[in-house]
Amino acid sequence: MNWESLDWEVLDNLREKFLSGSAAEGPYWHTITDLECYDFTFGERIGWKWDAVLSELKMRSWKAPKSATVLDWGCGSGVAGRRVVDFIGAAEGTRLFLHDHSNLALDFAEHRGRAAYPHLLVERASTRFLRGTEPIDVLVISHVLNELNEIARAELAELLTRAQTVLWVEPGTHEVSRLLGTWREKLKPRFRAIAPCPHQGACGIFGAGNERDWCHFFATPPNGVQADSGWVRFGQRAGIDLRSLPYSFLVLDARNASSSLPPLELSPAAQLTPPSETGELARILGEPRHYKGYAKMFACTPEGVVDLMLQKREAPQVFKALKKAHGPLLYRWTRQADRVLAVTPYFAESLAPEPLDAPSCES
């Protein structure tokens, strides 16, 4: 698939289904061409969101189980499962199982998976496996919440009782993000939240007065996308801002905390104004709002979601970096009421992001 062979009418039809909500009514793949066109465009954008999540996990030194059994549930074209296998490493013994309500999607995802990992077991998950009791090392869930009926939600809930780790990425809309938050609350007793949460307490977006808030972030597209004529045409036709990749996500781990949640270490490149040892760990939600000499930001803290202000003079380097926010905006800071007094980024990428490779125009 490339831009010359892409069927634009197929993309128009898919876009209409996604926008109208009719995608939740049942399988919307009619031909392999549908899946090829989707995987090359919409699917690749989803892949960039997964790249952001997996890059953060790498920064955290988080590791998935070795020789893992991976289940990509609701796989579609299989882009999420392939990104995850690339991340954890296609070691001997790793298995990639696929599940979708569309047999056509399973055919496509299975074919692409076997081509990418010829030495691994890649196949559609059997009914026996889906309804069994075998542990699932890595449960991959991607962009499914707005398409689930009651039966599918029950099936997912049952699979989550067997998962050792959960990697879950969804669109960054208000509705879907808050729905993902309700799942986090249900799963708290069994799992430890690895990301994006800076704490293990109740989700702050459900606090009183926070009805307008939602937990979402922005991935950075690869360099060159905005100058690529194919992507530019795609963005214009689909009505998509190529610079904006909003997403919500949740990474959960049921394994022993000592192996699944390594302590975060301050980056040597991020030693700015050292806060006190009692400074709180917090994560910026969405994007900071910039004004003359100061910035305001909604942040998730152990106390809940708060609206904070950072004056430029308090931390000029951080203030400058926030104007071109990249990577996980996770900080330890001290504050007085809503004013940040001292701040230290946890990741160097939040201060000086590394450029990404330019995208390929063929796949």
Q: Residue 313 sits in a domain of what CATH number?
A: 2.40.50.140
**pLDDT of the chain along its 363 residues, tens only?**
899 999 998 988 888 887 776 656 667 788 999 999 999 999 999 999 999 999 999 988 898 888 899 999 999 999 999 999 999 987 778 999 999 999 999 999 999 999 999 999 999 999 999 999 999 999 999 999 988 999 999 999 999 999 999 999 999 999 999 999 999 999 999 999 999 999 999 999 998 888 888 999 999 899 899 899 999 999 998 888 888 899 999 999 998 644 444 444 433 333 333 333 446 889 999 999 999 999 999 999 988 899 999 999 988 888 888 887 777 889 888 888 889 988 888 875 544 333 333 333 332
Residue 169 lies in a domain: yes
**Amino acid present at 173:** T
Residue 261 lies in a domain: no
The CA-to-CA distance between both ends of the chain, in Å, stands at 6
- Report how far residue 217's alpha carbon sits from residue 300's, in angstroms, rounded to the nearest whole number: 12
Residues 221 and 303 in one domain: no
Whether the CB-CB separation of 138 and 71 falls below 8 Å is answered with yes
Residues 116 and 205 in one domain: yes
Angle at alpha carbon of residue 194, lines to 188 and 197, rounded to 5°: 75
* CA 132 to each of CA 68, 101, 125, 190, 347: distance values in angstroms, whole numbers, following the listed order: 17, 18, 11, 19, 40
Whether the CB-CB separation of 270 and 345 falls below 8 Å is answered with yes
Residues 156 and 207 in one domain: yes
- Report how far residue 253's alpha carbon sits from residue 203's, in angstroms, rounded to the nearest whole number: 17
Residues 108 and 205 in one domain: yes
- In the chain, how many domains are there? 2
Whether the CB-CB separation of 85 and 59 falls below 8 Å is answered with no
Residues 272 and 250 in one domain: no
Whose tokens are 């993000």? That residue is: 177
Residues 275 and 319 in one domain: yes
Domain range for residue 287?
A: 268-350
Domain boundary at 201, 227, 256, which?
A: 256
Count other C-beta atoms under 10 Å from residue 199's C-beta. 17
Residue 33 lies in a domain: yes
Residue 227 lies in a domain: yes
Whether the CB-CB separation of 299 and 282 falls below 8 Å is answered with yes
Residues 216 and 180 in one domain: yes
Domain boundary at 223, 256, 289, which?
A: 256
Residues 279 and 234 in one domain: no
Q: Look at residue 184 and give its three-state secondary structure.
A: helix
The pLDDT assigned to 296 comes to 94
- Torsion angle, alpha carbons of 343, 347, 350, 356, to 10: 170
Residues 252 and 155 in one domain: yes
The pLDDT assigned to 23 comes to 59
Q: What is the CATH number of the domain that holds 55?
A: 3.40.50.150
Domain boundary at 234, 256, 278, which?
A: 256
Residues 205 and 239 in one domain: yes
Whether the CB-CB separation of 165 and 100 falls below 8 Å is answered with no
- Report how far residue 210's alpha carbon sits from residue 208's, in angstroms, rounded to the nearest whole number: 6
| Token pair for 123 | 């196949």
Whether the CB-CB separation of 168 and 251 falls below 8 Å is answered with yes
Residue 363 lies in a domain: no
Residues 58 and 194 in one domain: yes
Residues 272 and 252 in one domain: no
Would strands 330-336 and 121-124 be described as parallel, antiparallel, or unpaired? unpaired
Q: What is the pTM of this model?
A: 0.87
